[in-house]
Amino acid sequence: MAEVVRYRNGTRQSEARSVIVLETTEKVIRVLTADGGALRVIRLPLTEQRHMAPLTYHGKPYPPARAARHFARYAKAFGAKKGVKKILRELRSR
């Protein structure tokens, strides 16, 4: 189940970004983020979860399909790899 969260990197507290959490395992969290001008799927250690807070939209959890639509618009402008585009299509179809 995908979840949209606000992520603040532990080293740069002033920089917050929206990410889509794709998968959480015992040691890592896979997130989709706009990092360095392109959309990427990155793995973060599970300890980074303390820097994440859920995003809300009208008092409810932010819909992953809505976030995927915004991320797809970003991907069209700045580029994304085939795997990222496939993930976005899957999220929008839910």
* pLDDT value of position 14: 63
Total domain count for the chain?
1
Residue numbers of the domain that contains 89: 3-93
Express each pLDDT in 34-65 by its tens digit.
Answer: 877 788 899 999 999 998 999 999 999 999 99
Q: Give this prediction's pTM.
A: 0.86
SS (H, E, C) the chain: CCEEEEEECCCCCCCEEEEEEEEECCCEEEEEEEECCEEEEEEEEHHHHHHEEECEECCEECCHHHHHHHHHHHHHHHCCCHHHHHHHHHHHHC
